[in-house]
Amino acid sequence: VPSGEACCSTDANCADPSSARCGAAGCVDMPDWDVSLVTDMSELFKDKAQFNANISAWDTSKVTDMYAMFGQAAAFNQPIGGWDTSQVGSMAHMFYQATAFYQDITGWSTAKLTTSTDMFDGATAWLDRVERRDGSANLGGPTSEWIHKPCLADERVLSGWCVLCGGGGIRAAGDDPSSGDTSCAFPDRAALEDAVVACLSAVPSGEACCSTDANCADPSSARCGAAGCVDMPDWDVSLVTDMSELFKDKAQFNANISAWDTSKVTDMYAMFGQAAAFNQPIGGWDTSQVGSMAHMFYQATAFYQDIT
């Protein structure tokens, strides 16, 4: 299985210690291998052009050599930024011509690194988006000497890195990854409603319902969609025109959404209907375009704020 996907569990002989293709791993696939005793991973995936198994959970705490580990592993692009590289002495040529690799590894420990020559030579995806702090053409490490270029359109900043918006989110190009996390704008009511439902299903009050999502950094599975890891008070709802019944029947909801940009909203019909716990200072909202506020606070029994 050139990609490494399920290469052990699909082996008819995986339960036979004498003939299992994955040796000590038996029927356990590569993402879950126990490599905690291995010290040398040099050239481990060199020239494995189709390899792209998710080995982000590997315990690399004893590894001292990663020389050319992914050299010419042209398909590899997995989130290995969490690896423990504190004992690694060599990362030279580690991603040589690993043309697809583009993951945030700038936080790797390089305390014992002695050589990282041409670590990213030919790593085109990386070089397209990341640059040396000093502006030089040096292709070596350490990884801490590399910073992300400004984000492209429909990308947001997460922990100093540009990631796709997800959830159909929209954002202009140009965010500086060094200036803090950003969120994408919800493109319409449907996207916003999906995020509200998912968020409040997980945390009925709405409190930190995005930042506590283990998948918030993954554009394809973040419960808060376009917002990613950014919690509800800071969502960008500036493009949404319809907020009718948005929090209807959300009895425990009470997130502070006072900073929401509602300048384009035309419909707030029953927005907080039966949202019995809601009581936040939304008096500063721009409601200049709103045509309907009918039943907006129907049985919102806790609400007592100045919106006059």
Which of 308, 255, 239, 302 has its CA nearest to residue 274?
Answer: 302
DSSP secondary structure, 85-117, as one string: -TT--B-TTTTTT-TT-----TT---TT--B-T
State the chain's maximal CA–CA distance in angstroms: 79
Mean pLDDT score, 203-232 = 92
The model's confidence at residue 83, banded by pLDDT at 50, 70 and 90, is: very high
**pTM higher than 0.95, yes or no?**
no
Provide mean pLDDT across the span 140-167.
93
Q: What is the pLDDT of residue 209?
A: 95
Instruction: Tell me how far CA of residue 51 lies from CA of 18, 57, 124, 153, 267, in angstroms.
Output: 25, 16, 17, 29, 51
What pLDDT, in 10s, does the model give residues 249-298? 999 999 999 999 999 999 999 999 999 999 999 999 999 999 999 999 99
- Is the pLDDT confidence value at 158 over 90? no
Mean predicted lDDT score pLDDT of the chain: 96
CB 246 within 8 A of CB 265: no
Give the residue with greater pLDDT, 47 vs 161: 47
pLDDT above 90: residue 183: no
Structure tokens at 210: 């995005």
Give me the mean pLDDT over the 92-120 stretch: 97
* Sign of CA pseudo-dihedral 33, 36, 37, 43: positive
Please tell me the least confidently modeled range out of 91-100, 180-189, 253-262: 180-189
Which tens digits make up the pLDDT trace of 9-59?
999 999 998 999 999 999 999 999 999 999 999 999 999 999 999 999 999
The token pair at 189 is: 């009511």
In the chain, the N- to C-terminal Cα span, in Å, equals 67
Tell me the C-alpha distance between 5 and 225, whole Å. 27
Confidence of residue 121 (pLDDT cuts 50, 70, 90): very high
